[in-house]
Structure 1
Amino acid sequence: MMAEEKHYMTEEGKEKLEAELESLKTEKRKEVVERIKIARSFGDLSENSEYDSAKEEQAFVEGRIQQLEAMIRNAEIIEEDVESSSVQVGKTVKIKELPDEDEEEYTIVGRAEADPLEGKISNDSPMARSLMGKEKGDRVMVATPGGDLEVEILEVF
């Protein structure tokens, strides 16, 4: 059996996953079973789109439950190193893109918590991988799908 990979996350991120898991197990599962029961009552299952739809949703819910259980089981809680001034998982970094001077702020998190719209990027992302271990004032080249991007680290907190 292959060793399962670690899922890096904050304590808050783990709590969110646990809440989602609990909701899926206690509420969503029951809703889907009820939908299947109602769809079955319509008779012929061979041409019953409600039944097919409910079964697909059931498969999705069960798959997500398994995924969440594995992520929680293999959670590696990120302990923030407040002493360190370098970019690492759990830290927020403010950068300036060069030469256009656009400023961005990202919090480096584990893949399970990544939410780019919230400014949380995965430690596996090209940006985070390029910034890891660097410090305020460093200039870094980031390989992105759109080409190389030079950034300067303005702050790490």
Structure 2
Amino acid sequence: MTQSTEQGKGTIWLTQEAYDKLKNELAELQGPVRAEIIERISAARDEGDLKENGGYHAAREEQGRLEGRILQLKDMLERAEVGETPEDDGTVAPGTKVTYKFVGDDDDEAETFLLAAREMEDSVEGLKVYSPQSPLGSAIIGAKVGDTVGYQAPNGRTLEVVILGAEPFTG
């Protein structure tokens, strides 16, 4: 995988478990959940004046959120790379467990996270998940153990981290 593939609308790395969970959520939203909202909209329409019908407006808002989530899930599932563990060569890539510290911190202040889609968070108990599109995630893709990498934090400050470890996530 190249760094440019991972940025923006690139590939999303997921375990099979996370992929299946998202696929099941999509099926649930497209089936029973969508049908229930359509039924509520129809029932509210039958009540008459839609301008003052709070139930109708609430159901329409919920339908909008539902359709947005369905589009998001479809997009993620189309771009998903399922369960292919990256090489164990000490290079940071989606699907790696990364240990890093900020420049100037002691080694005992190091943190470890999984570089993958945020939707993986429920599948990796006790491990933070950072997206490859996050400021830190996008900055360190391609870095090797021992590299120092700078990136711009959301607050505008430039931070530097040292990569202490990068190993494939095995679930």
| TM-score (normalised: structure 2) | 0.74
Paired position in structure 1 for 2:34: 29
Kept in 2, the 8 Å contact 1:122–1:128? The answer is yes
1:108 aligns with one of 111, 115, 120:
115
Which residue number corresponds to residue 155 of structure 1?
165
Gap runs ≥5 in structure 2? 1-8
- Give, in angstroms, the shift of residue 145 of structure 1: 2.8
Once the 2 structures are TM-superposed, how far is the Cα of residue 6 of structure 1 from its aligned partner? 4.0
- Ranges of 4+ aligned residues in structure 1 off by more than 3 Å: 112-115
The 5 A counterparts of 1:114-153 are 119-146=128-155, 147-153=157-163
TM-score, L = length of structure 1: 0.79
Asked if structure 2 preserves the Cα contact closer than 8 Å seen for 1:114 and 1:121, the reply is: no
Superposition RMSD in Å? 2.5
Q: Which structure's relative contact order is higher, taking Cα pairs within 8 Å and 6+ residues apart?
A: 2
Separation of aligned partners in 2, 1:33 and 1:8: 31
Aligned residue type for 2:132:
N
Going from structure 1 to structure 2, the CA distance change for 1:122 and 1:29 (only over 3 Å counts) comes to same
Q: CA deviation at 1:46?
A: 2.0
Deviation at 1:118, TM superposition (A): 5.9
Residue 86 of structure 2 aligns with an amino acid whose one-letter code is D
Shift of 1:68: 2.0
Alignment length (residue pairs): 151
Matches of 1:81 and 1:9, distance apart in 2: 10
State the SS of the aligned residue for 2:51. Answer: helix
Match in the other structure for 1:60: 65
Structure 1: gaps (5+ residues): none
> Does the CA-based 8 Å contact 2:12-2:76 persist in structure 1?
no
Letter in 2 for 1:60: R
In structure 1, C-alpha distance between the alignment counterparts of 2:152 and 2:120, rounded to whole Å:
19
One-letter amino acid matched to 1:123: P
Instruction: Answer yes or no: is 1:69 the counterpart of 2:74.
Output: yes
1:24 positional shift: 0.4
Judging changes above 3 Å, is the alpha-carbon distance between structure 1 residues 100 and 90 closer, same or farther for their aligned structure 2 residues?
Answer: same
